[in-house]
Homo-oligomer: A and B are copies of this chain.
Amino acid sequence: MYDYVIAIDGGGTSCRAALADRNGRVLGRAMRGAANIFSRADAIAQSILAASNAALAEAGLGAEALSEIPAFFGLAGINVGMRQETLAAQLPFPETRFVHDGIIALQGALGDTDGVIAILGTGSAYVAREKAKLRSIGGWGFMIGDQASGAVLGRTLLAETLLANDGIHPQTELSRTVMERFGGNPENTVEFTVTAKPADYGAYAPMILEFAERGDPLAGKILDAAVRDVTDALDAVVFPGCTKLCLLGGLAPHYGKRLLPRHRSLLHEAEGDALAGAVQLAVRAFIPQTHGAGQE
């Protein structure tokens, strides 16, 4: 029987770890670099180890204890391929369990109740739980998915800026402002794309929100299309009888107020964050339950 569990929330931009006791009480917490499974496996393993060791240190435990503590992972991109075995082999934990980060986010937001979460940050994804059955949609990444995410909003803004600069679409204050940021030279925007990662595109999303408030027509067009994308996805994932919808991620408040009444009326605050969800699931996975949900 284990005395502790490690819970990992590994997103595209950071990796958070929590050490908890058998009752799910968090004793240490830490954050380190990215743990996106699209990153190289050894870099991910390093981030996970660093965050785990720091969480142990906060609880007064040494790194050697890791070999006695099972770890539960919620990782962005984990549903892609079988890289989790490669990753597990590089880590000291005696037992590991992997789910995609949407699952721990749902557990954190809804606890054990039914409902839907929409993750609207640098990427986008949706998870529903209906009578304990999980269903995930979206989350397919920046290149061919992640509609309405910060990265896709930012990329669309750059594309529209070039169209406006070429005289194909109308110029607005927003398109002119973005072009100025690139020194007025469209070639600089193309240079940007040679190395830009999703988060780099996502850094342009706040400009869209800001200019939309001021009535900029380009900002309004991009945001309206994104709200339609979120609405389409919610229509696909919100089940009959669903009473709880939590929007998570940096864009959540901006979309929340723009949703149609049928979705806005379901909105609830999240109970906890994804790391809290990972702790709950870690306890359930690795600590034998006497009765009830994780209580001794």
Contact = CB atoms under 8 A, between A and B. Distances in A.
Contact of A144 (B141, B145, B155): B155
Contact of A191 (B81, B137, B162, B166): B81
Interface string A141-166: 10111010000000100110011001
A232 B162 CA distance: 13
Contacts of A63: none
A138 B158 contact: no
Contact of A232 (B147, B169, B193, B233): B169
B190 A162 contact: no
B236 A38 contact: no
B144 A190 contact: yes
A79 interface: yes
A97 to B, nearest CB: 19
Given A166-B138, A168-B233, A232-B169, A144 B79 contact: no
A155 B155 CA distance: 14
Contacts of A158: 144
Most B CB within 10 A of own CB, among A80, A81, A138: A80
Q: Give how many copies assemble into the complex.
A: 2
Interface in A210-268: 232-233, 235-236
A233 B163 CA distance: 9
A80 B191 contact: yes
A1 interface: no
A80 B233 contact: no
A236 B140 contact: no
Contacts of A137: 166-168
Given A159-B145, A168-B236, A232-B168, A140 B194 contact: no
A187 interface: yes
Interface string A173-211: 000000000000011011101101000000000000000
Contact of A236 (B80, B143, B166, B194): B166
Interface of A: 38, 79-81, 137-138, 140-141, 143-145, 147, 155, 158-159, 162-163, 166-169, 186-187, 189-191, 193-194, 196, 232-233, 235-236
23 contacts: A38-B194, A79-B187, A80-B187, A80-B190, A80-B191, A137-B166, A137-B168, A140-B162, A140-B189, A143-B193, A143-B196, A144-B189, A144-B190, A144-B193, A145-B162, A147-B159, A147-B163, A163-B232, A166-B233, A168-B232, A168-B233, A168-B236, A169-B232
Q: Which 7 A-B pairs have the closest CB atoms?
A: A137-B166, A143-B193, A144-B159, A144-B158, A167-B236, A168-B236, A80-B187
